[in-house]
Amino acid sequence: MSANYKELKRQAFEANMALPKLGLVAFTFGNVSAIDRKRGVFAIKPSGVPYDDLKVEDLVVVDMKGKAVEGKLAPSSDTPTHWVLYRDFPEIGGIVHTHSACAVAWAQAQRPIPILGTTHADHLPVDVPCTDLMTDKMIQGDYEIETGNQITGHFKRRGLKPVEVPMVLIAGHGPFAWGKDASKAVYNAKMLEELASMALMTLQLNPKIGRLKQALIDKHYQRKHGKNAYYGQAKGH
């Protein structure tokens, strides 16, 4: 039994197992993948396996042609979407898809999540983008590939950078999040759910509130992500 991709599968397994613990998935919903760029493969959750039954060896390793190279089970049906995101966003190392409730609510309302407070600005400097609904042609075509194209096309048209904006809503469907590795992608998926929940409550309390003022957005984003970032324990602070 080959174990060529043991470490990659372990990373993807642990990230997948974090989803139910964080309350981001029910039943068999959701999937995480982790990529090894040097070897040109990524490990992803198998299709339809409940989290309680999932084992490291169940993870499926897929190459950049979309072909399974290790694993006995069929990969997640969302695998082609992950493949497109890895192809078009070369900086990312891990991807998460969930149907977490608050993020789905915004996706179903077909609305970007407005940047209303500093929790949001700590993580990204703009609204969480929401794609347009997919066209009939895309839906009837290669649906999962086109879902990926819908995301990366939206980022390209809007001039959004995947490193700066590590999350998206697909209209009528739900969220995808990513990061430099699978564990960071899980963090961003949980953060997205928190931002979605906070924005929903804020607009219930005051539907007329506008975006956070730009000076606060800049302050919070830059102190964590700018070139003179000082938040946290890095660089002698």
Whole-angstrom distance, CA of residue 163 vs CA of residue 96: 15
221: annotated active-site residue: no
Give the H or E element holding residue 81. helix 79-88
DSSP-derived letter for residue 212 is P
Q: Which of 36, 63, 88, 122 is the catalytic position?
A: 122
Q: Which of 132, 142, 218, 231 is the catalytic position?
A: 231
Structure tokens at 226: 């700018």
Grouping H, G, I as helix, E, B as strand and the rest as coil, residue 153 is helix
DSSP-derived letter for residue 131 is P
122: annotated active-site residue: yes
Residue recorded with tokens 């590795």: 181
Whole-angstrom distance, CA of residue 27 vs CA of residue 29: 6
Q: Which residues belong to the active site? A: 122, 231
